[in-house]
């Protein structure tokens, strides 16, 4: 009798071990890289994705978010390569930061291509957006959904800028992209590439006169505190975010988990876009309340900047792809 009881107990314990092993095997954790923390909409987009995946998988899939480019030692331009190589499982990344590896993403950095949110949506939701996703997929990364870092606006410490002539000789900090160098050179400025870690001290000391970033970054990072007294809303480019997964990781997922991950990314992206755009007016009011002089360009003034940078299109369209640029322009015209 005692022997039978022990035999039954052993069977129950063995079954429990097998069940725990099976559940453990099903549970998976993946790394997600972002450049900004959840103090910014960008970081909040990644956190929302992780939250939705956790909920919808009932805790079976965990996305662990690593902000501030931790997984690439602060070098945000290495993020795409690291994901492609499998050093990072997933990312919510910027078209600017990924453009060195995916030249087609320079589409979004063409100056004055997208005058408003409707133009951005027409591009990302249309044929040009599909072509961009295909270009990313061809390089070993599976794109899932769009988010948004926002229109990049111009600030400086010298004067209110409302015409290309106002930029003559100004030292403007720009991100590490040759297209940005060409754009500001065409406007007569003196573009200076540097990391954001180096930019704030340079703005403080006057080593550079100005910078360009979305309103969310200007606001949260308190760029007005480093001498940036003038802000020009010129909407010269928009930086969409992209939710993406390493191709090998994607291929190893069961079909139902792929769909769960993709739909969660789509929903997180839509949530973050609405959040980012909805905060614009309040951010602008907060910035103005801190003594920043804001200039909002008229259509005619913006057109003057567009004409001054037309040469950038001639140089960069072949690198981006004639078909993609044409599709984008058509989408904007028909929005």
The 10s digit of each residue's pLDDT in 306-327 is: 999 999 999 999 999 999 999 9
Tell which residue, 210, 206, 199, has the closest CA to residue 234: 210
What pLDDT score was predicted for residue 2? 47
Asked if 146 and 268 touch (Cβ cutoff 8 Å), the reply is no
Residue 132 falls within a domain, yes or no? yes
What pLDDT score was predicted for residue 26? 72
Confidence of residue 8 (pLDDT cuts 50, 70, 90): low
Residues contacting residue 68 through CB under 8 Å, at least 6 positions apart: 34, 35, 36, 37, 74
What pLDDT score was predicted for residue 151? 97
Residue 75 falls within a domain, yes or no? yes
Residues contacting residue 318 through CB under 8 Å, at least 6 positions apart: none
Give me the domain span that covers residue 127: 29-333
Q: How far is CA 108 from CA 215, 297, 313, 324, 330, in A?
A: 17, 20, 12, 11, 14
Average pLDDT for the chain: 93
Q: How far apart are CA 123 and CA 130, in angstroms?
A: 9
For tokens 């567009």, what's the residue? 306
The 10s digit of each residue's pLDDT in 71-89 is: 999 899 999 999 999 999 9
Q: Is-above-0.85 flag for pTM?
A: yes
Residue 128 falls within a domain, yes or no? yes
Residue 327 falls within a domain, yes or no? yes
What pLDDT score was predicted for residue 41? 96
Sign of CA dihedral 146, 148, 151, 153: negative
Q: How far apart are CA 89 and CA 72, in angstroms?
A: 13
What pLDDT score was predicted for residue 128? 98
More confident residue, 97 or 13: 97
Q: Where are the alpha helices (DSSP H) in the chain?
A: 2-26, 41-56, 79-85, 95-98, 117-124, 127-137, 178-186, 196-205, 215-220, 247-252, 255-278, 280-289, 299-308, 310-320, 322-333
Residue 182 falls within a domain, yes or no? yes
What pLDDT score was predicted for residue 196? 83
Asked if 244 and 136 touch (Cβ cutoff 8 Å), the reply is yes
Residue 138 falls within a domain, yes or no? yes
> What is the domain-level CATH number for residue 208?
3.40.190.170
Residue 203 falls within a domain, yes or no? yes
pLDDT above 90 covers what percent of the chain? 89
Q: How far apart are CA 172 and CA 177, in angstroms?
A: 13
| Cβ neighbourhood burial of 277 (10 Å; 0-12, 13-18, 19+) | middle
Beta bridge partners of 94: 241
| Per-residue buried b or exposed e for 298-328, using 16+ beta carbons within 10 Å of the residue's own CB | eeebbeebbebbeebbeebbeebbeebbebb
The 10s digit of each residue's pLDDT in 212-268 is: 999 999 999 999 999 999 999 999 999 999 999 999 999 999 999 999 999 999 999
Asked if 28 and 61 touch (Cβ cutoff 8 Å), the reply is yes
Residue 22 falls within a domain, yes or no? no
**How many structural domains comprise the chain?**
1
């Amino acid at each position: 009798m005692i022997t039978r009881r022990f035999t039954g107990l052993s069977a129950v314990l063995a079954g429990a071990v097998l069940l725990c092993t099976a559940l453990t095997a099903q549970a998976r954790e993946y790394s997600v890289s972002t450049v900004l923390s959840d103090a910014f909409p960008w970081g909040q987009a990644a956190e929302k994705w992780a939250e939705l995946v956790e909920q919808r998988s009932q805790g079976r899939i965990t996305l662990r978010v690593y902000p501030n480019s931790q997984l690439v030692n602060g070098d945000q331009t290495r993020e795409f390569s690291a994901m492609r190589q499998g050093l990072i499982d997933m990312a919510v990344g910027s078209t600017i930061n990924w453009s060195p590896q995916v030249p087609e993403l320079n589409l979004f950095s063409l100056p004055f291509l997208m005058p408003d949110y409707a133009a951005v949506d027409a591009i990302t939701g249309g044929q040009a957006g599909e072509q961009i996703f295909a270009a990313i997929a061809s390089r070993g990364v599976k794109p899932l959904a769009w988010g948004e870092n926002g229109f990049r606006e111009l600030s400086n410490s010298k004067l209110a800028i409302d015409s290309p002539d106002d930029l003559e000789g100004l030292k403007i900090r720009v991100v590490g992209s040759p297209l940005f160098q060409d754009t500001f050179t065409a406007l007569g400025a003196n573009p200076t590439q540097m990391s954001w870690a180096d930019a704030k001290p340079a703005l403080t000391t006057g080593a550079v006169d100005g910078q360009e970033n979305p309103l969310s970054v200007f606001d949260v990072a308190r760029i007005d505190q480093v001498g940036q007294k003038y802000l020009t809303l010129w909407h010269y480019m928009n930086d969409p975010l992209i939710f993406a997964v390493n191709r090998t990781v994607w291929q190893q997922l069961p079909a139902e988990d792929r769909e769960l991950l993709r739909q969660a990314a789509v929903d997180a992206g839509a949530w973050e876009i609405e959040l980012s755009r909805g905060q614009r007016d309040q951010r602008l009011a907060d910035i103005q309340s801190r003594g920043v002089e804001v200039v909002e360009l008229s259509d005619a003034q913006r057109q003057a900047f567009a004409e001054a940078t037309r040469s950038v299109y001639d140089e960069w369209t072949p690198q981006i792809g004639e078909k993609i640029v044409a599709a984008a322009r058509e989408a904007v015209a028909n929005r």
